[in-house]
Amino acid sequence: MKKAIKFMLNGDPVETLADTNVTMTDFLRRDMHLTGTKRGCEEGECGACTILLDRRPVASCLMLATEAEGHEIVTIEGIMEDGKLHPVQRQFVEKWALQCGFCTPGMIISAVALLEENPSPTEAEIRDAIAGNLCRCTGYAKIVEAIGAAAESLSRKVA
C-alpha cells in the first residue's frame, strides 16, 4: 500500500508516494537515495539512523515514512551550510572523532541537535546527548572532544 506524502527534506519540499509499511530509514535510503542515514540495529538501540524531525533527534528506524507528512526532516546530507561542512562535521574531522564512520552521521546529528538546544553543554550533557549513539571504534573520548570544540567554534561565530 502506498500513500502520498508532502514534507520538507533538507530544506526542499518533497511530494511523493511512500509505502505505508516502510520505516523512515529505508525510505530515505531506498526512495530518496540518501544513504548517509545508516541502518544499524533497526530497533532504536544504536542511534546510527538518527535524523532530525522538526529539529529534534529521533531514531528513523522507529518512524514510519508516512509520519513525515507535514513535517520537516533533516538528514546528515542536509546540515552543510553554504557548501561548507557544519562546525560539528569539521571538528569530527579535525579531532579524529571517527574510525570506521558507521555511527558518525547519527552521532553528528545528535550533536547538532544538542548544540541547537544547548549551545554550551558540559561534558556530562554531551555524553547524555549521545548516550543513544553507539560507537564501537573510538571509545567516545574524541567524539566528546569534537562536540565540545564545535560548541566553542559556534559560540565564537555568534559572538
Partner 1 sequence: MTMPSFDFVAAKSLDQAAEMAVSLGGKCQIMAGGTDVMPLLRDRLIRPELVVSLREIPGLDKIEFKPGEGLRIGALATLDQIQASPAVRDNLPAVAEAAHYVASKQIRCKGTMAGNICNASPSADTACILIVMGAKILTTKREIQIGDFFKGVKKTCLEPGELVREIFVPELKSGEGSGYLKHAVRKAMDLAIIGVASWVRMDGQKIADCRMAFGGAGVTPLRALQAEKHLKGKTYSEALLEEAAVLAAADAKPISDVRASAEYRSDMIRVYAKRSFKRALETLRS
136 makes contact with partner 1 (CB under 8 A): no
The interface with partner 1 within residues 50-89 (CB under 8 A) comprises 50, 53, 56-59, 61-64, 66-67, 69-70
Q: Is 15 in the site for partner 1 (CB under 8 A)?
A: no
* Residue 123 makes contact with partner 1 by CB under 8 A: no
Q: Crossing angle of helices 104-117/141-158, nearest 10°?
A: 40
Residue (71 or 94) nearer to partner 1, CB: 71
Pairwise CA distance, residues 15 & 63, whole Å: 18
- DSSP class of residue 108? H
Indicate the residue among 23 and 75 with the shorter CB distance to partner 1.
23
Would you state the cell numbers that stand for residue 12, as one nine-digit string?
Answer: 526542499
User: What is the CB neighbour count within 10 angstroms for residue 4?
Assistant: 10
Smallest gap, in angstroms, from Cβ of residue 107 to partner 1? Answer: 11
Instruction: Assess 8 for contact with partner 1 (CB under 8 A).
Output: no
What per-residue string of b and e applies to 38-63 under the rule 16 or more CB within 10 Å gives b? bbbeeebebbbbbbbbeeebbbbbeb
The residue among 45 and 96 lying less far from partner 1, judged by its C-beta, is 45
**What sign results for the dihedral spanned by CA atoms 140, 141, 144, 149?**
negative
Q: Which residues bind partner 1 (CB under 8 A)?
A: 1, 3, 20-23, 26, 42-45, 47, 50, 53, 56-59, 61-64, 66-67, 69-70, 110, 113-114, 128-129, 131-133
